[in-house]
Amino acid sequence: MLNILLQTTIDDVPDDWNVGRFSRLGEFLSQLKDDQGRLAFEVTTRNRGARGKPDPVLSNLHDSGYHQLWLLAVDGGDGLAAEDCAGISRFRQLGGSLMVTRDHMNLGSSICNLGGVGAAHHFHSHNPERNEARRCVDNLFSSPISWPNYYSGANGDFQRVRPVGNIHPVMRDRHSPTGVIQYLPAHPHEGAVSAPPDDPSARVIMEGQSLASTRRFNIAVAFERSGHGGRAIAQSSFHHFTDYNWAPESGCPSFVNEPAGDAITKFPEALRSTKQYVRNVAFWLGA
């Protein structure tokens, strides 16, 4: 059995994206079984410790018994101390696997200092997208939120996604008519990811398309095991994994003011596809 740490970059703030708002993800991962019918993963869920000092777990992750870190970067830019980034980077260098996700503009930008995977994440004020033409507002109806903010749909709805290049293992879906993952939860303002040009182990494996501008945007970057360390996934938005986006009736923090949809509850195939993707990521990271 492999040990997964499902961790946010904020402390236990009730009216925020604390780890309790990812309970369905944690439960789903903990129920996955291997080919012999045995439970495959033991899942620990936690928020970070007090801000302003190193997190006791993340800063020592390289000395922990965890095999995978699913890092939910939900902070405003101060969620990881330098010691936390060093511990996580060392963890991967020693063979540990990462799934690192964030959201729009500068939300989660503390991950920029993570070795390798941090370079895949683009923010407004840190490591912006290399193509300057993309440094513009995509969702014009979320005025307080600037780029990157790709509009894939309302929270509670779903988006159509596409594989990029050769079909990556995490994109395969034998239950789909196309044989690949087709749907993920939608979000009004997704972040930006790309493969670092100086890392041959990384490539974009999934993209979406904005409903506002029709621009295609990257959703996931996969890092193969290499001299840099273990496997990793860089994901454009943590909203692909929240209770609210899997089941809108779960509720959300009070600062979320966009109207929610409910298409994902009316089209079960979208949530099934999402869970297949999560399953694929967990087993691929653990292989």
Cis omega before residue 188 (within 30°)? no
> Residue 58 in 3-state DSSP?
helix
Cα separations (Å) of 183 from 86, 171, 192, 220? Answer: 34, 11, 18, 13
- Evaluate if residue 232 carries a pLDDT over 90: yes
How do residues 54-108 score in pLDDT, each as one tens digit?
A: 999 999 999 999 999 999 999 999 999 999 999 999 999 999 999 999 999 999 9
Q: How confident is the model at residue 142 (pLDDT cuts 50, 70, 90)?
A: confident
- CA–CA distance, 15 with 1 (Å, rounded to integer): 33
- Residue in 20, 22, 190 with CA at minimum distance from that of residue 102: 190
> Is the pLDDT confidence value at 47 over 90?
yes
Binning pLDDT at 50, 70 and 90, where does residue 247 land? very high
pLDDT in tens, 191-213: 999 999 999 999 999 999 999 99
Give the pLDDT mean for 163-184. Answer: 98
CB 38 within 8 A of CB 104: no
The DSSP line for 63-129 is GSS-SEEEEE--SSS-SS-HHHHHHHHHHHHTT-EEEEE--STTTTGGGGGSTTGGGGEE-SSSS--
d(CA 152, CA 212): 8
Q: Give the pair of three-digit tokens for residue 209.
A: 């398309």
Q: 6 has which bridge partners? A: 45, 70
Nearest alpha-carbon partner for 241 in 139, 78, 80, 99: 99
Q: How far apart are CA 22 and CA 245, in angstroms?
A: 10
